[in-house]
Amino acid sequence: MNNYFVSIIIPVFNNAKGLDRVLKAISLQDYPSSLYEVIVIDNGSQDNPRDIAMKFNAIFLEEKKYLGSPYSARNRGLEISKGDIISFLDTTSAPIKTWLSSAVQCFAKDYEVKLVGGAVKFLLHESDSIGKSYDSLFNIRMEESINQRQVAKTGNLFVRKEVFEEIGAFPEGLRSGGDVRWTKKATNNNFKLIYSENAKVLMLPRGFSPLVKKQFRVAKGQPTVWMEEKSFVINMVNRFILFWVPPHPGRLKDAIDKGGHLFLHKRFFRLFFLGYFLRWVTAAGIFVGIFRLWGGTNGK
């Protein structure tokens, strides 16, 4: 295996507890600690993540211009990074012990591989809420995103630094959708993106309120993505039809079976109606995104 040096970039906003969890998991990696650095970027937190970062000897920065934008925070980390490979994590996830070595191996085996999206497995318990149950089923489906759309999420993403040098950093000031837009730009420029089941992180699902807020926030960024993918009209037509049609029960059943949490079958009807409600949340977000797009704010 090549001795790649990796820069691990983690934005944080009011989640010092989650930061402690992810930094502890990184400290337990089977990859040599001399071959990676950890850069934490605070995005305006009130719970003092600096102390947590210092405890694990991580580099600590603050993003002050674009508060609330994790992509701007990631860009600040990128600017000082020394790695041949740049890794992105969130404070809601924690990598398994072989996460880093598995991802590096993907690059070492094939130089044509420029981006690697790792698996995201949600930690769900039978006592968890219906919101967390739904989040674990339908959010951050990395394998599907990569294989079907050639895009990936920054919740578990590795990139050769040369890609950033070629196409630039993430869009500044965005709250959501910047990872999809940027990775699509990369694959459109013929940079090879693959999925790795072994470079896995374990993620905590969101409850109802954070789930609704995220659904709305992500939806606001969709019109801009469609414009960049030159698929605005077809996506708008499809979404307009879907807004009036209940979710397909078979898709929900398949998601439960694939996720492995079979106890969710007992919550089938509640999950079904939550999915229908979230369609309308998505619709509201998309319409706001369209107005912002027309207003020249670029989906921010």
Please classify residue 165 by burial: count the beta carbons closer than 10 Å to its beta carbon, then call 0-12 exposed, 13-18 middle and 19+ buried. Answer: exposed
- Residue 121's contacts (CB-CB under 8 Å, 6 or more residues apart) are 200, 201, 202, 203
* Residue 125: other Cβ atoms inside 10 A: 10
Answer yes or no: are the C-beta atoms of 56 and 28 closer than 8 Å. no
35: β partners: none
Kindly give the parts of the chain with pLDDT less than 70: 1-2, 229, 295-300
DSSP string of 26-38?
HHT-SS-GGGEEE
User: In the block, which residue shows the tokens 């998601």?
Assistant: 255
What CA–CA distance (Å, rounded) separates 38 from 40? Answer: 7
* Interior/surface letters 241-274, b for 16+ CB within 10 angstroms, e for the rest: eeeeeebeeeebeebbeebebeebeebeeebbeb
Helices (H) and strands (E) in the chain, counts: 12, 8
Please classify residue 211 by burial: count the beta carbons closer than 10 Å to its beta carbon, then call 0-12 exposed, 13-18 middle and 19+ buried. Answer: buried
Let me know the angle formed at the C-alpha of 294 by 293 and 297, rounded to the nearest 5 degrees: 45
Answer yes or no: are the C-beta atoms of 222 and 298 closer than 8 Å. no
What CA–CA distance (Å, rounded) separates 94 from 174? Answer: 24
* pLDDT value of residue 214: 83
- Where exactly are the structural domains of the chain? 6-205, 211-294
* Residue 279: other Cβ atoms inside 10 A: 19
* Prediction pTM value: 0.83
Helix axes 249-259, 268-294, angle to 10 degrees: 110
User: In the block, which residue shows the tokens 């967390």?
Assistant: 132
- The arrangement of secondary structure in 6-205, i.e. its CATH architecture, is Alpha-Beta Complex (3.90)
